[in-house]
Amino acid sequence: MGLLVKIAFRNIFRHKRRSLLTGLMMAGGCLLFAVFIGMVDGSYGLLINMFTLDHTGHIQIHRKGYLNKPSIYKIMRNPSSIGNRIHDLPYIKSWTPRVYTPALAFAGTKTSGVQLMGIDPVREAKTTRLREKIKTGRFLSNKPGDEIIISDRLSRILKAGPGSRIALIAQGVDGSIANDLFTVIGITDSRQSSYGGTTCYVHIDSARNFLSMTGGAHEIAIVLTDYSKTLKTVQLIKHKLNDGSLEIEPWQVVEAQFYRAMQADIRGNWITIIVFTIIIAIGVLNTVLMMVLERTREFGVMKALGTRPSQIFTLILLETASLSLFSIIAGTLAGITANWILSVHGIHLSNPVDWGGFPFDTITSKISLRSVFIPVVVIAASAVAVSIPPAIRASRIRPVKALRSV
């Protein structure tokens, strides 16, 4: 085997130009694979963070059945107790309770259906980016009051702005008619948010008073330090709470439509990877096949001197594998460097793409095991696989016929 390795290395450097071109093709393919996968992971990571940190959170807790059929009566008691119990679990960064109800809003002669959302201003600001969505006015005060924040869309419908008075009518949890007056203190930009365009926000205690709720919440949204730990953290929370009356769901379930669209797009990306693989494989096959045809006489001499077919077969595979090894190392290092540069600086789009209500204006990359492991395996496997037919051809050469060839 040692002698075959020496011969393989000698043959690689004997045809420097051909080996260089083949090596550059494999290294370039490895680089493109790494950057492509890194950009996919980085861009989807950015989208996931934009979507989950906007309001969904990475994990949500509800009363059983609330997610499929929301109801103001499906209330979690003692949400603060639930939050405090899970706060110290690994990967959990922050959590916030919420109260929801549909309502009818009146401002002057204008009317609109709205989704009223009661939030804890302090916890919500630590968990989501709602405070950053305020484009006019200010955020809610820490103490409950008659303050309300509305979306810019709702502001246009109701012809209401900061200082305007809005009347809300809804059904209370005790069966009574809930009604109250609120003063607009802020307006959000609904174009850059996954919140509904007619969502409005009040202090959570104000929402409870409005609905005649004695404490409780409809939802607890949780944000993690690493979104990739979502499913693991869901299991940790379930084990910690051990409460069959609660549903603990990851963002993949809460925002199932967004997740399915993302998965479909990821599956489509594999078509690009397959095309890359086929192009590189054809190039390697062409090179190895030409090498075998050019060395027909050499292989004939080797067989005439007693070289076994299996040794010639192994020699061809060793030459391809050795060339692949050098190419993959170079391509992997270049890919890691490129992904690092893109993760820091990104590629800024002159015309932002709207993705689910978000202006996606920067393509970023991410260095991950996927972006290193997949290109290495694909390039190495395809290079060795396509060298097998030429290697079989070389091993079956008849010495007499080969020695007669020019």
Shared domain for 106 and 19, answered yes or no, is no
Instruction: For residue 62, count CB atoms less than 10 angstroms from its CB and return exposed for 0-12, middle for 13-18, buried for 19 or more.
Output: buried
Q: What is the pLDDT of residue 118?
A: 94
Shared domain for 20 and 111, answered yes or no, is no
Residue 116 belongs to a domain:
yes
Domain ends where: 213, 243, 273? 243
Q: How is 205-272 classified by DSSP, letter by letter?
A: HHHHHHHT--S-BSEEEEEES-GGGHHHHHHHHHHHH--TTEEEEEHHHHTHHHHHHHHHHHHHHHHH
Residue 310 belongs to a domain:
yes
Question: Strands (DSSP E) along 152-214, which ranges?
Answer: 165-171, 177-188, 199-203
Shared domain for 207 and 103, answered yes or no, is yes
User: How many domains would you assign to the chain?
Assistant: 2
Shared domain for 70 and 185, answered yes or no, is yes
Shared domain for 35 and 150, answered yes or no, is no
Closest by Cα among 49, 76, 71 to 61: 76
Backbone angles phi, psi at 87, to 5 degrees: -60, -35
Look at the block and give the residue holding tokens 């609660």: 246
Shared domain for 6 and 125, answered yes or no, is no
Residue 254 belongs to a domain:
no
Q: What is the pLDDT of residue 12?
A: 67
End-to-end CA gap in the chain: 29
Shared domain for 7 and 140, answered yes or no, is no
Domain ends where: 191, 209, 243? 243
Q: What is the pLDDT of residue 123?
A: 93
Q: Which residues contact 232 (CB under 8 A, 6 or more apart)?
A: 91
Residue 252 belongs to a domain:
no
The dihedral of CA 386, 390, 395, 396: what is its sign? positive
Shared domain for 284 and 367, answered yes or no, is yes
Q: What is the pLDDT of residue 402?
A: 61
Give the helix/strand (H/E) hosting 99: strand 92-107
Q: What is the pLDDT of residue 130?
A: 86
Q: What is the pLDDT of residue 207?
A: 93
Look at the block and give the residue holding tokens 């929402």: 207
Closest by Cα among 60, 170, 175, 176 to 116: 170
3-state secondary structure of 139: coil
Domain ends where: 216, 243, 270? 243
Range of the domain at 190: 65-243
Give the helix/strand (H/E) hosting 117: strand 110-119
Q: What is the pLDDT of residue 240?
A: 92
* Integer Cα distance of 291 and 289 in angstroms: 5
Q: What is the pLDDT of residue 247?
A: 93
Across the chain, which has 406 residues, the per-10-residue mean pLDDT values are 66 72 81 84 78 85 91 90 91 94 90 92 90 89 92 89 92 89 88 67 94 91 90 93 91 83 75 76 72 72 78 81 85 89 77 59 78 84 81 77 62
Shared domain for 229 and 263, answered yes or no, is no
Shared domain for 194 and 320, answered yes or no, is no
* Integer Cα distance of 177 and 161 in angstroms: 26
Shared domain for 220 and 273, answered yes or no, is no
Residue 77 belongs to a domain:
yes
